[in-house]
């Protein structure tokens, strides 16, 4: 049991560091403007990464409900990889391109900004949830893993799906 406790405490410092560093780095990189690169092809790709993440999360839930633990582990690990790829492409795009203003009007504009703000806030909050949930499984603390996963899954799924919806809503306004 002590070995498991050491694993979780060792990862705890790393998780907290990553959970603070990633949002700070993203915020700082929004102030960076790298010119001379055409990354206009990235938004549909990184939106697809969010869609794939959502599908992987649903598949992981189905796998664990059917006691397919190895598949569940592979699917959740893949979801983490796709989320990381999304983040990388998102940062590259926004470091090389100007922000696209949303052009919708009326209630759809209010909905868009509600979705966008909730997506951004939850994308920050979800980082430690995902990492702690994953580490609890790695350390064999399956009761704690399951308890935290019941919070993590719906939040992570919301972030993934809302990211796709946000892309679909803003894509008509990208510069051609």
Share of residues in the chain with pLDDT > 70 (%)? 95
CA distance 23 to 35: 23
Nearest to 148 by CA among 114, 125, 172: 125
**Which CA distances in Å does 93 have to 6, 26, 74, 86?**
39, 12, 28, 10
CA distance 116 to 136: 30
Q: What is the pLDDT of residues 148-165, one digit of tens each?
A: 999 999 999 999 999 999
Quickly state the pLDDT bin for 5 (edges 50, 70, 90). low
Quickly state the pLDDT bin for 1 (edges 50, 70, 90). very low
Quickly state the pLDDT bin for 134 (edges 50, 70, 90). very high
First CA to last CA distance, the chain: 58
Task: Encode burial over 67-105: b for 16+ CB neighbours within 10 A, e otherwise.
Answer: eeeeebbebbebbbebbebbbebbbbbbbbbeeeebeee
Cα-Cα-Cα-Cα dihedral sign, residues 73, 74, 75, 78: positive
Q: What is the pLDDT of residues 58-99, one digit of tens each?
A: 999 999 999 999 999 999 999 999 999 999 999 999 899 888
Give residue 148's pLDDT: 97
From 7-16, 17-26, 121-130, 161-170, the region with the lowest mean pLDDT: 7-16
Give residue 58's pLDDT: 98
| pLDDT score of 37 more than 60 | yes
- Asked if 123 contacts 159 with a C-beta cutoff of 8 angstroms, the reply is yes
pTM, two decimal places: 0.91
| pLDDT score of 19 more than 70 | yes
Length of the chain equals 176
């Amino acid at each position: 049991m002590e070995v498991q406790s050491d694993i979780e405490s060792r990862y705890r410092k790393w998780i907290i560091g990553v959970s603070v560093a990633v949002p700070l780095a993203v915020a700082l990189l929004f102030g960076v403007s790298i010119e001379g690169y055409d990354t206009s092809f990235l938004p549909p790709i990184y939106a697809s990464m969010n869609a794939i993440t959502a599908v992987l999360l649903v598949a992981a839930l189905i796998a664990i409900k059917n006691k397919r633990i190895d598949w569940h582990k592979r699917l959740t690990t893949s979801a983490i990889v796709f989320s990381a790829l999304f983040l990388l492409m998102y940062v590259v795009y926004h470091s090389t391109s100007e922000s696209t203003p949303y052009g919708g009007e009326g209630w759809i504009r209010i909905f868009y900004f509600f979705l966008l703000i909730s997506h951004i806030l939850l994308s920050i909050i979800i980082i430690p949830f995902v990492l702690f949930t994953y580490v609890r499984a790695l350390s064999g603390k399956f009761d704690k893993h399951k308890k935290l996963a019941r919070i993590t899954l719906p939040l992570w799924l919301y972030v993934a799906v809302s990211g796709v919806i946000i892309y679909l809503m803003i894509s008509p306004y990208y510069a051609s």
